[in-house]
Amino acid sequence: MKKLNELSFIHLSDIHFVKSSNDPSDIDKDLRDAIITDLEINARENLKNVAGILVTGDIAFSGNIEEYEIAKEYLNRVCDVFHIKPSDVYCVPGNHDVNQNVVNSSDLIFTAQNAVDEKGTIDDADKTFSKYISDNNFNALFKPIDEYNEFAKRFECNISADKIFWQKDFVLEENLKLRVVGINSSFLSNKTDHQKGKLDRLMYIGQAQIPCYETDVATLLMCHHPPQCWKFKDNILPRINKRADIQLYGHMHSQSVEIMDENAILYSGAVHPTRTVDWLPRYNWITISSKTENEERILKVEIYPRCLTDDRDSFTIDSTCSLGENHISHEINLDRKRKAALQDRKKETLFKDEIELCTQSTLVDQTSEPIDERKIIYDFYEISWIDQIDILTQLSLITKETSTKLDSKMISEAINRAREQEKLLELHKKTLNKMEENV
């Protein structure tokens, strides 16, 4: 994997695509086109090595498949601006990505959500959450985001009982990896989220979603709901602040940047906020780099907040957020931060134990260029269901008997078998052949 001195990302939040998006009467289409123009003219001039698009939830408005089809088309346009792959999108679900019709029509789902919500301690809530996600007969806490998962699986950002968060590593210089971690704060979202005269109901994030320590890793955390919306915030936030150096949130539709010695936290405005008197669409660019000073590694974060102009014609610098500058710059001394967090423990022993505990972590092979698994998986999900079954059968990843009752989970398991059996390149070759046949 190639080392880069600087990585950039485009950050979008609360896009709220609806079924009528792109209709002739859609007044928000011009807004989205203005973002594309801003990226083409201004972002390409300011940013180097754009590595991906980060979306912190509420991609859809009602969690319906039609909304995600429109979202995919638009995100492809954003990727095209920087000549990056459609698979270079990273997303987490928000409360609008929950299909509330599914929740409201099922007493089992509502019961499961309330069972977690009513617990008075985080340990009891985690125990109850674990009980419900272990139920293979009816996965109540994941059923409401089925359509989100169908959309997100092509980016490997789907959420399931087997993968309650996702992560992706990028390689910076100074022997440092940037790990992007996506967690889900919308497990309990239902009709009681917004109650007249009351604040939003608090959302659940369990201890199992807290990023773990690992040697030579800087962490960027993506989550839809910001900390003020969390249950058990006092139990979770101090640990997240120690481990997640950069944090991106959405949901509130108001933009601010919180800079602390050891963290850079972006509370993002919305691409599609509600059209009220103070309506002001926003999005962001983010650049991350590394350097060494006095033998200590420094993570540099630059946030470029963008907002719609007063005449609603184009996007420009959000000077209210960046204090008159075109971006906010912050440096985090990672080695000093880790030492301060862990100084009462034996560092060598800790890191060895933590690395073993981080079973979802993938160590980077510095000696060879790895295959692009994200593109392989993205392309595979772009072909038809019949073609998917045909390829998996040819590669003996499924049997003819199981092919008749195949579901999304079994497809995902078959892809994992391809990875374990080193058949991903062969799977991709057959996928590309299917694509050519269908042109």
Q: What would the pLDDT profile of 281-333 be if each residue is shown by its tens digit? A: 999 999 999 999 999 999 999 999 999 999 999 999 998 887 778 899 999 99
Torsion of CA 28, 30, 32, 37, to 10 degrees: -170
State the Cα–Cα distance between residues 382 and 389, nearest whole angstrom: 13
State the Cα–Cα distance between residues 299 and 261, nearest whole angstrom: 11
Confidence of residue 197 (pLDDT cuts 50, 70, 90): very low
State the Cα–Cα distance between residues 423 and 98, nearest whole angstrom: 34
Confidence of residue 198 (pLDDT cuts 50, 70, 90): very low
Over range 334-358, report the average pLDDT. Answer: 64
Q: Are strands 256-260 and 246-249 parallel, antiparallel or unpaired?
A: unpaired
How confident is the prediction for the chain on average, in pLDDT?
89
Of 200-204, 233-237, 417-421, least confident by mean pLDDT is 200-204
- Looking at residue 412, its pLDDT comes to 87
Could you tell me what percent of the chain has a pLDDT over 70?
90
Closest alpha carbon to 362 in 1, 8, 55: 1
Confidence of residue 372 (pLDDT cuts 50, 70, 90): confident
Over range 126-142, report the average pLDDT. Answer: 85
List, as one string, the DSSP characters of 102-153.
HHHT-HHHHHHHHHHHT-SSHHHHHHHHHHHHT-SS--TTTGGGHHHHHHHG
Residue 405 and residue 349 in contact, taking contact as beta carbons nearer than 8 Å? no
Residue identified by tokens 């199992």 is 208
List, as one string, the DSSP characters of 65-83.
HHHHHHHHHHHHHHHHHTT
DSSP character at residue 163: B
Confidence of residue 363 (pLDDT cuts 50, 70, 90): very low
Rounded to 5 degrees, what angle do the CA atoms 410, 67, 24 make? 150
- Looking at residue 340, its pLDDT comes to 86
- Looking at residue 407, its pLDDT comes to 80
- Looking at residue 3, its pLDDT comes to 60
Of 256-260, 273-277, 401-405, least confident by mean pLDDT is 401-405
| pLDDT at 343 > cutoff 80 | no
**Residue 104, phi then psi, degrees to nearest 5:** -70, -25
Residue 324, judged by CB atoms within 10 A of its CB (0-12, 13-18, 19+), counts as exposed
Q: Return the CA Rg of the chain.
A: 22
Closest alpha carbon to 178 in 214, 226, 227, 223: 214
Residue 145 to residues 140, 194, 230, 386, 411, Cα–Cα distance (Å): 10, 19, 19, 24, 18
| pLDDT at 1 > cutoff 60 | no
Tell me how many helices (H) and strands (E) the chain has: 16, 13
Confidence of residue 137 (pLDDT cuts 50, 70, 90): low
Could you tell me what percent of the chain has a pLDDT over 90?
71
Closest alpha carbon to 221 in 196, 239, 199: 239
- Within 10 angstroms of residue 417's Cβ, the number of other Cβ atoms is 15
- Looking at residue 330, its pLDDT comes to 95
DSSP character at residue 94: -
State the Cα–Cα distance between residues 334 and 331, nearest whole angstrom: 9
- Looking at residue 174, its pLDDT comes to 84
Residue identified by tokens 């134990």 is 353
Residue identified by tokens 């320590």 is 213
Confidence of residue 187 (pLDDT cuts 50, 70, 90): very high
**Residue 230, phi then psi, degrees to nearest 5:** -95, 140
Confidence of residue 192 (pLDDT cuts 50, 70, 90): confident
- Looking at residue 276, its pLDDT comes to 87
Token pair recorded at residue 228: 């003020």
Over range 334-346, report the average pLDDT. Answer: 80
Closest alpha carbon to 299 in 281, 312, 313, 287: 287
**Residue 315, phi then psi, degrees to nearest 5:** -100, 150
State the Cα–Cα distance between residues 439 and 430, nearest whole angstrom: 15
Token pair recorded at residue 68: 């995600």
Q: Tell me the pTM.
A: 0.88
Amino acid at 235: N
